[in-house]
Amino acid sequence: MSDYTKAEARDWARERLVGAVNCTIPSFTNDLTAINERGIRHDTRLAIEHGFLGSLAVSEVNITLPEYLEFMEIMKDEAGSDLVIVHHGSWSTLEQNIEAVKGAEAAGAELVLLSYPPNFYPQSEQEIYDYTKAVCDATNLAVIVFPMFLWGFSSRIHPSDIPARLIRRMLDDIPNIAVIKAEGGFPGIMGLVECHRLFGDEVVISCPIEGELLPLGQLIPIQLSATSDHEFWGPTIPEAMRLLREQRFDEVTELYWKMHPARKAKQAAAQQLNGGHFIDRQLWKFQGWLRGYNGGPLRLPTQRIHDPQMNALRKGLLDAGFEPSMDPFSEFFVGRNPA
């Protein structure tokens, strides 16, 4: 249960959501028959140690809803009040998403990242509005609305994925929309700039892409970077957010250029492996493993990662002056806390 009411969601978000939110991908036992509690607790503790204010409990893997809710309960039990647990509203149908968000609220989640199912094919803004409102109405939790190219809305609805006029309707009618994860029209910054200009006084505007966050955060106030695979950078993104808040822009700029070799390696791996417009959770899990997170096997269907990508990602971190794990790649597929 959250410690705020539905009507207080936006005030809660403004006060509480200051910093960065990473992603926690479920860990499984080595025979893939159950979730791995030790691995999940390890990743939760490390997220807190790295300075993240919250973590997304990723659902876009082969996991049942009961397993997912148990995964979230473990994260909450391990984190206590030290980490905001974010529910990943990414299930196959509206009915499943409503069931999942109710379960997540009971399991201790405090925030929801709203996604749209792969088989959801809206042909009007009204259909997007109706889906969004149905999920938000089903929970008391604060919700992140997420304009994003992955949904496929840009070719039929608007180039910005979810147009500002529709976001305006949502904010007027749905009180627990508290955050906009502003990736509309990606790649490009106009979606974030437009959301900041039009809605920044009402809700929190999140900039999840670190390559945009570090430059734009020097020009406009950005209090939140959520949710993203920030675990690839270890404690760097929470530190960058602190520097931005303190307006230490020379240090932020120096950090940006330090990160650039690893950024380019990360972008190249994503472009190579993400051609199907689906986020490669195996890739993200490996990125986290390089910085001390659990790693470990994922169930089919999952995308694959091979030696060339793993070598390139590790080399990028080394070239940037970071200290990634030098353990054999074979250990990634076992995990740091095998069960």
Contacts of 93 (CB under 8 A, 6+ apart): 117, 119
Mean pLDDT value across the chain: 96
Among 60, 64, 104, smallest CA distance to 84 is for 104
Domain that holds residue 223: 6-249
Tally of structural domains, the chain = 1
Kindly state whether residue 280 falls inside one of the protein's structural domains.
Answer: no
* Token code pair at residue 283: 């890739």
What does the pLDDT average to over 278-291?
93
Determine the pLDDT at residue 276.
52
User: What does the alpha-carbon distance between residue 188 and residue 159 come to, in Å, rounded to a whole number?
Assistant: 11
- The pLDDT tens digits for 191-238 are 999 999 999 999 999 999 999 999 999 999 999 999 999 999 999 999
Kindly state whether residue 204 falls inside one of the protein's structural domains.
Answer: yes
Confidence of residue 275 (pLDDT cuts 50, 70, 90): low
Determine the pLDDT at residue 2.
85
Q: Exposed e or buried b for every residue in 251-283, given b needs 16+ CB within 10 A? A: ebeebbeebebbbebbeebbeebeeeeebbbbb
Kindly state whether residue 335 falls inside one of the protein's structural domains.
Answer: no
Answer for the pair 23, 55: CB distance below 8 angstroms, yes or no: yes
- The pLDDT tens digits for 107-142 are 999 999 999 999 999 999 999 999 999 999 999 999
| 3-state SS class at 3 | coil
State pTM to two decimals: 0.97
Which backbone phi and psi does 144 adopt, to 5 degrees?
A: -95, 120
Kindly state whether residue 190 falls inside one of the protein's structural domains.
Answer: yes
CATH for 175 = 3.20.20.70
Confidence of residue 306 (pLDDT cuts 50, 70, 90): very high
Supply the Cα-derived Rg of the chain in whole angstroms: 19
Which backbone phi and psi does 233 adopt, to 5 degrees?
A: -95, 5
DSSP states along 124-159: SHHHHHHHHHHHHHT-SSEEEE---GGG--TTTT-T
Confidence of residue 274 (pLDDT cuts 50, 70, 90): low
Kindly state whether residue 51 falls inside one of the protein's structural domains.
Answer: yes
User: What does the alpha-carbon distance between residue 191 and residue 163 come to, in Å, rounded to a whole number?
Assistant: 9
Kindly state whether residue 265 falls inside one of the protein's structural domains.
Answer: no
Among 201, 146, 193, smallest CA distance to 10 is for 201
- The pLDDT tens digits for 44-99 are 999 999 999 999 999 999 999 999 999 999 999 999 999 999 999 999 999 999 99
What does the pLDDT average to over 151-175?
96
What does the pLDDT average to over 274-303?
89
What are residue 93's DSSP bridge partners?
none
278 has pLDDT over 80: no
43 has pLDDT over 80: yes
Confidence of residue 271 (pLDDT cuts 50, 70, 90): confident
Kindly state whether residue 140 falls inside one of the protein's structural domains.
Answer: yes
Kindly state whether residue 282 falls inside one of the protein's structural domains.
Answer: no
